[in-house]
Amino acid sequence: MRRRWFFFVGVLLFFSGLWVVGARPGELLPNEGGRETASEFLGAALRPALDFEDPEMRGSERDFIHKLGRALWLTLRYAVAAMSLALLIGLIWGVLGSRAWWSRSTLFLQTIRIGSRLLATAVRSVHELMWALLFLSAFGTSPLAAVLAMALPYGGTLAKVFSELLDESESSAAGVIRMSGGGGLAAFSVGVVTRALPDLATYALYRLECAIRSSAVLGFVGVPTLGYEIKTAYEDGHYREIWTYLYTLLAVVIFFEWWGAKVRSLLTKGVSSKKPDVRQPDVAQLWKLRGSSLFLRSSLLVVLIGGSMSWLLEDRWGAGISWEQRMRNLDRFTGEIVPYPVREADGDWGEFGPWLGEKMSEGGSEAVWQTFHLGTASILLAGVLALIGTRFAARSLASSVPRGVRDGSPAWRAILGSVLRGAAMLGRAMPEFILAFLLLRIFGPTVWALIIALAIHNGGILLRLGAEVIDNAPCRASSVILAQGGSRTSVYVGALVPAGFSRLVLFLFYRWESCIREATVLGMLGVASLGFLISDARVSFFYDEMVLWVALGAALVFFGDLTSDFVRYKLRGKNN
């Protein structure tokens, strides 16, 4: 009954969300101009540009490949620099927010722990594009603003995940060290961090992959990364150049995904050690015979060198602006983010309430409501697509011997599964903002472009996670059903989905948080939501309104985070 109610509420939220955001079925078909644009754009996919499409640009001093290489180099450099700073923030806040770090539980220490977690949640609730707009407005366009815009939300995300991984790590060794007279630092570092290190490292690599996508998207607010070149090429109608930039971005993201998966596999499974020649080897011999991986050592060296070089190779972090000018810009910005009526009343914050009520009635409440339903409808559509696709993409069902039972099925099932897994990888490699930007040019100013963009990206992630859940599900009933002549669909619907239902729902709520964050900024592309109000306020230099809408977006994400944590806690309780 709980599952039936879950599906019923999901269907109700999906259709009510489409009604609230005004997603009419007729808008799914692009108009004549959109169809022509789509035909030209898709046709250019088979002929990516290797030179400028504009003949006048071909005679310039800098060739197209050099331009592409510079945009790619800046995208990678800003992503690596941001992740190196985010890793430092995540480690500090993650340790302070972890229960495993505090051996004693006093009111003061608990205040520090809770405060660290709340601060991490606050900074990650604001999307990196929103941080970029704030920093660019306060300091002007500079590489440092782009790096900080990514480092803060990514640092908050790392802090939350790191603290949870440390708390959930097996801590019996730490207790033994303390009972043996060891200090708290030794018990924490050896007994807790060592066990959690593989998970900490693998998640940091995953966030690096995400940082590359975010670095590309920052080009839409003026940072000269791949996103900036994509936007410029689209405005000029150079579709072949766009595909060159897209293929480059996809290749880089796929490479980093492969690299991260390889590192995660080696850290999780470990490296086998050599067998000793004697029955009772000494400690020195065991150390020499320990398992080692050249790939892991090389990866660590590349990460250290890349993180250092990303900071050292940039000689204009401040974009040539003097420190005095930067401080004047900051003073002006901090003064103008105070609500206008409060400034006019010489700092009387009693005027804030009426001003807030006026702004909410003029469109703020509607934007918050639409942003919530946009993210909710998108993740529900992504969940349905992933649920259907997982049936064919899961390796345990797509192979010729599903769940260990040979049924003599044709080979096309395995081919279809490979195609779906490849499509899911491409979908999750493409940033939602870039997808929405391209789709808006095809469908026109309709909310369907945003919903489809969010559904494609998150559907690819959910399909991958769902396939892993199905493949790893130890369900005997599935083998019994197949052995008795049951179909793979009946096995999937009747046995495997119920067995992994709790984990599938957990992943759905996990991505719902991300969908809410993305929905707050996609309005910058011209569709009514909080992002649209933020962009409009920035263009008009109404910084007080811009900060208000950013804060409301963060509050909405914070609410989604709390709701998600509550539901996941309840599901874990039911599962246990």
pLDDT score, position 86: 94
The rounded Cα 218 to chain-centroid distance in angstroms is 14
Rounded Cα distance, 504 and 466, in Å: 6
Gap between the Cα atoms of 50 and 40, Å rounded:
18
Task: Report how far residue 383's alpha carbon sits from residue 80's, in angstroms, rounded to the nearest whole number.
Answer: 31
What pLDDT is attached to residue 575?
A: 45
Q: Residues 396, 488: contact at Cβ < 8 Å? A: no
Q: Residue 396: its pLDDT value, please? A: 81
- Cβ neighbours for 250, distance < 8 A, ≥ 6 positions apart: 426, 429, 430
CA distances from 109 to 101, 105, 175, 185, 188 (A): 10, 6, 20, 16, 16
What is the sign, positive or negative, of the torsion defined by CA atoms of 63, 64, 69, 71? positive
Whole-angstrom distance, CA of residue 127 vs CA of residue 554? 8
Helix intervals (H) in 473-542: 476-483, 488-491, 497-499, 501-522, 530-539
CA pair distance 436, 229, nearest whole angstrom = 16
Take residue 568 and report the two structure tokens written for it.
Answer: 């996941």
Say what the pLDDT of residue 381 is. Answer: 95
Write the DSSP string, 403-450.
GG------THHHHHHHHHHHHHHHHHHS-HHHHHHHHHHHH-S-THHH
Q: Which domains can be identified in the chain, with CATH numbers? A: 1-30+362-576 (1.10.3720.10), 65-271 (1.10.3720.10)
Q: What is the DSSP letter of 276?
A: P
Q: How many CA atoms lie within 13 A of 262 on its CB side?
A: 14
| Dihedral sign computed on CA atoms, order 571, 574, 575, 576 | positive
* Side-chain-side CA neighbours of residue 354 (13 Å): 8
SS3 sequence, 514-533? Answer: HHHHHHHHHHHHCCCCHHHH
520 and 556 in contact (C-beta within 8 Å)? Answer: yes
Please tell me the total number of residues recorded for the chain in this structure. 576
Alpha-carbon span 387 to 569, nearest angstrom: 22
**Residue 272 φ/ψ, nearest 5 degrees:** -65, 140
pLDDT along the chain (576 residues), means of 10: 76 91 84 80 89 79 86 92 94 86 74 86 87 82 86 92 79 67 70 78 86 90 88 89 92 86 75 60 60 81 89 72 74 87 87 92 89 92 93 83 67 83 88 88 85 93 88 74 78 83 82 87 80 86 90 85 70 51
User: Cβ distance 459 to 386 under 8 Å?
Assistant: yes
Torsion angle defined by CA atoms of residues 459, 462, 468 and 472, in that order, rounded to the nearest 10 degrees:
-130
Q: Are 241 and 53 in contact (CB under 8 A)?
A: yes
Judge contact between 219 and 245, C-beta under 8 A.
Answer: no
Looking at residue 502, its pLDDT comes to: 77
Place of tokens 């018990």: 187
> What Å distances lie between residue 411 and 111, 176, 394, 399, 471, CA to CA?
59, 54, 15, 8, 19
Cα 421–chain centre separation: 19
User: What is the DSSP code string of 330-347?
Assistant: HHHHHHHTS-HHHHHTTS
Per-residue CA distances from 185 to 34, 98, 505 (Å):
62, 14, 38
Q: How far apart are CA 357 and CA 364, in angstroms?
A: 9
pTM: predicted TM-score of the whole model, two decimal places:
0.84
The rounded distance, in Å, linking the Cα atoms of 350 and 196 is 50
